[in-house]
Structure formats: structure tokens, C-alpha cells
Structure 1
């Protein structure tokens, strides 16, 4: 039995089926009737020291719906939404629910309540993958990120560009997937150029973002187009750098990039599909799948993020 001062937790690797691949995530289970304040959640997230920790508020056994409230914390702040914590927590709780009900095939539908809003979920009990309907309010900023700004943080790319080994575009789009979650999208010409990306000595700071969208997390998402499959799936290789840290799988950045590419493709009322491979340079290969459904006015109607998860640890923590 768990004592009143303890909580159960698991850690999982997200966007992979191989233990110790993908992006690690800690999931803290909060029983019905139990509460934690913001300071306690932030302290626990710092203790795990992963890119994100989620707090899964379990519902009572008598609950009529498969619906959970989930809070997402970095080591330094709470996030309204993040992709790999959403998919990872969905795979964990819905996989557990499927086992408890003896269900091994078919699709289970459920939802999460996040700070960014309600997220619809579909769990494939056979494939053991979760597909999340991602909250989005896509905003392409008027400001562009210049090549000089990029080179100030990426000296290896700057030197390779100076020597004519790679070509880097003059400027790059800055896109928010929702308010509070923003990425500079840097397209590179080859995987060789992608390999030259390095950690930055400081976190990215961009002045002059559009009003109302300027209080935000901001990371740099580097990408290379890797062709198209026979089924029309666009393949991308990516890396996400946030100052001195690299993330092996970033669902929010992948969603941000997929939304931007779909909006700028110039085709309305179409569904775009993407297969994104990230984390290779870290030795933690991650596979992220995204579908973007477009409206007639070329805005994003729906965005779905999909992946698998494998559990690697479990235990109890003291509050």
C-alpha cells in the first residue's frame, strides 16, 4: 500500500518501442481526492530532471468517461501543452486500462484535460500506439530569424557556410503552435549540415515577436527534407535545441513544423502526413507521426500526433 506521503510513478520512453530510446518521461500518479500544489509539482519535476514530467490525476473507478486531467511540467515551469508528454501519458494510462479490461484489439477513445484545452485520444490496442488531437492556434510571426542570429549560436554551421560546405538560408520562420509554445524553424539542405548543429551556450531569446504571442517558450527546430514515401508521407529528419539542451523527441515542435509546412504548401482541404525522425545524433532515435487536416481557407482544421511508448521504470516518491 502507498502511504499518504507517497505517490506512485513510472518512467516511459516515448516515440519508440525500444527501451532507452526515444524521449524519457516521468508520470506521477495522483489518486482521486489527493492534491498537490504548484510548488510541490515543480519540485518533483526538478528532482526527475527530465525534459518534462506529467502529473496524472486518476479518476474514480466509478467515473463515467475515460477522461483524465494531466499537468505538464518542465524543470523550470509548467507548460500548457507538450507533445511527447501527451502521447507518453496516453499510451501509459490507456494501455493500462486496456489490460485491466482484457482488451487486446480495436481502438479505445478517451480524452485529457490539459492547460491548453481538451485533447481527444485514440489508442490502438493492437499496435499499442496513441494518437492525440493536438490543441493548436497556429501563428506565423511577422518577425523572421536571421542567418546572422543563427550563426551567433551555431558557430560550426557558420564556419561550414563560410567555407562553402553548406548553404544556409538568409532567414527562417518563427511559428507558435499555441500561445506559449514557439519554435524557430531552420531548414537545412542535408543530414551532413544537420550533424553540424551543436548545443548553444545560452537559451534562445528573440525580441519583437508579435504582440500577445511574445510571452513564450522558444526553441530552435532544425529540419531536413528526406523525401516522400509511396503513400505520400513527407519524411523529415530533425533536431531540437534549447540552449545547452537537446531534446530527442519534441511533439510540440514536430506539430509546429508540420502545421507550418502544410499551411505554406498552398493546398486547401487536404490531409498532409509526416514521418519525423529525431534524436539520432543523441543515440535515442524517435519516430513521430503527424496528420494535418486543412480547411478550405488553408488554415489548420485538425492536427493529430501519434507514437508508441515503452515503460522502463516504476517506483514511489515521497511528497
Structure 2
């Protein structure tokens, strides 16, 4: 049986500049083994499967259910697949039941909104054009300080000194993220990590840009990024993730409105020759929204045995 398929580039309005996600539509009949095998075959950071909401999801207003797979296994939540899947569902003719889109996934219900203006400043996009979408960050499953042993492991994995870590925290909203801040964006970009020393860590790194230091990183009319972010997840079969919504959500919950502004743009993917832009907004009530541009790059069909 053939299933409709889209590959969506997320966190960039310029195709091939962000982080792609493979989206399989009408996937209710697929088995776990089929999903896992296809995710390994695409070899992308994540592959998603669109399904009918469960009874609980429908009762909560879910428009669709999604299962999210890496080459190494299934995740309860991830950010760039959330935006890319919503883009694919809307482009295929999905009509939200309420004011925004509601996704059901492993962490429950996730709200999304259509912000309407991409980084190329094109308004009123038709469905087959780039869209600016944003999701409400789910609550952190684990937060708070990182113990000394983990900080030592993190420093070894990043090939830096423990004293180079400005601050650290657990920012886990599903994938298992732990994050550290370095002195600046240049220190983040200079990292050459050791994946063996990293072990099972799902590690995010963030560093601030100085005033006037980011002109060379501007893309498509986007606002200047405040930080550079990198994400390392070798245990998921992904050495470095190009652009990461869930990690940026956790960093926004951790540092937004305190160390960082309440609203800012994160750059991610620079070290991989990508140009990801993640728009983070922390509201006065503490809720964090994570947005970015999404654009379809491939449309077709896929067969499963």
C-alpha cells in the first residue's frame, strides 16, 4: 500500500537550509517495525507518522496524532518534527477544529499556531509556500541543576574545561536534554566533541553573540540571532542535530526573560552549513512559544512491505 509522503524543511524558509523531517500521511495501518525501519532508512534526525487521534486525544480537541522516530528509536516529543508535521498536515488540506492546531503525541496535547509571516517577509502564504508556525513548549519533565559528575562528563565530551561551563541545567521535555551555556557563540561554534565520551547524554550547548558580531549569519531578512545553539545526540543515531525545536524550547524555559531576553532568535546549524532560525518567545505567565519557518521540499508516495 502506498502512503502520501512529504519532506519538510523546518526552521528556514530557504529549502535545504534548515532541518528536514520526513512525514508519512495516513499511517494508521503501519506497525512499529515498519515505522522504525523507515526512520532508519530516511536517516534523518526524525521521521513522523500521521495518525487518527486516540479517544482521549479527540476528547481534548486533537486534530491529529503523530508518532516521532529517530534512526535509534521513538521519541515522545520533538520540536522540529512537530512544526514540520503540522505544516504537512495543513498543506494536505487539514482543517483545525479550533482556533489553532492541536497535536497529540507521546507527551500529550501540544498546541500550535500559524504566525503568518516567514523570514522572507511574505504575507498570506498559500498552502504550498513557506509558513511560520510555532508550538507551545510542553512542561519540562526534568529541570534543575546538573550534578558535578555530569558536568565533568559534559566537559570531557565537549573537550573543554569544567571552568568553561558558565551554567548548566536539565531542560528535558521528552528527549532527555541537558544543557550548558558557554562564554559566547564563538566558543560554541569551535566545539569538536567526543561522541564516545558523550555516552547516552542528549546534550545542548548555547552561547550568546556579542553586539554587532552576527551580521555574517543573517539569512533571508531574519532578525539578528542572540545565541548560537548546538545539539549532540549520538545515542539517537544522530551525531549533531541541525536545528532542534525541543532543545530551544527547554533553553527558552531555562534562560528566557532572565539571562536572555524574553523574545529572541537562536541560530543553529551554522557548524553544519545550515542556516536555522528559531524564534523563542517567553510570555509573562512563563509559557514559551517556539516558532520557525517551514517549507515542503519533496512530495510523493512511499510503499511499505
* Common fold: TM-score over 0.5: yes
Q: TM-score, normalised on structure 1?
A: 0.74
Shift of 1:137: 2.8
Shift of 1:151: 3.6
CA contact (8 A) 1:258 1:274 kept: no
- The answer (yes or no) to whether the contact 1:288–1:305 under 8 Å persists in 2 is yes
**Alignment counterpart, residue 305 of structure 1, candidates 287, 290, 304:** 290
* Structure 1 segments unaligned to the other structure (5+ residues): 102-106, 162-166, 206-216
Which residue of 129, 133, 152 maps to 1:130? 133
Contact residue 22 and residue 284 of structure 1 kept, 8 A: yes
**Counterpart residue number, 2:204:** 221
Q: Which secondary structure does the structure 1 equivalent of 2:72 belong to?
A: coil
User: Are 1:109 and 1:120, in contact at CA under 8 Å, matched by a contact in 2?
Assistant: yes
The runs of at least 4 consecutive aligned structure 1 residues that moved more than 4 Å come to: none
Q: 2:172 maps to what in 1?
A: 177
- Are 1:28 and 2:28 counterparts? no
CA separation in 1, counterparts of 2:81 and 2:288?
Answer: 16
Deviates more, 1:42-51 or 1:234-243: 234-243
- What's 1:281 paired with? 271
> Structure 2: where are the runs of 5+ without partners?
117-123, 126-130, 213-223
Comparing 193-202 and 49-58, the one that deviates more = 193-202
Deviation at 1:108, TM superposition (A): 5.9
Mapped partners of 2:107, 2:211: distance in 1: 32
How far is the alpha carbon of 1:8 from its aligned partner? 1.8
Distance in 2 between residues matched to 1:227 and 1:37, nearest whole Å: 49
* Residue 316 (1) aligns with residue 301 (2): yes
CA offsets 1:212-261 (integer angstroms, 9 cap, x no match): xxxxx7422111112589xxx98211111223711111111101111111
> Matches of 2:265 and 2:259 in 1, distance apart?
20
Residues 142 and 238 of structure 1: CA distance in aligned 2, closer, same or farther (over 3 Å): closer
* Equivalent in the alignment of 1:152: 156
Q: How far off is 1:10 after superposition?
A: 1.1
From 100, 110, 114, the equivalent of 1:109 is: 100
Matches within 5 A, 1:205-284: 205=199, 218-226=201-209, 235-243=226-234, 245-262=239-256, 265=258, 272-284=262-274
Verify: 1:290 aligned to 2:280, yes or no: yes
Structure (1/2) with the larger strand percentage: 1
| Deviation string, structure 1 residues 34-77 (Cα, Å, up to 9, x no partner) | 42121111111111110100101268xxx9x7701111111111
Contact 2:9 2:295 in 1 (8 A): yes
1:164 corresponds in structure 2 to none
Question: 1:168 corresponds to which residue?
Answer: 164
* Bigger radius of gyration among the two: 1
In structure 2, the residue corresponding to 1:51 is in which secondary structure? coil
Structure 2 CA distance, aligned partners of 1:279 and 1:272? 22
Moved more, 304-313 or 140-149: 140-149
Structure 1 pair 12–275 and aligned structure 2 pair: CA distance change class (3 A):
same
Contact conserved, 2:35 with 2:69, CA < 8 A, in 1? Answer: yes
Matched residue, 1:72: 68
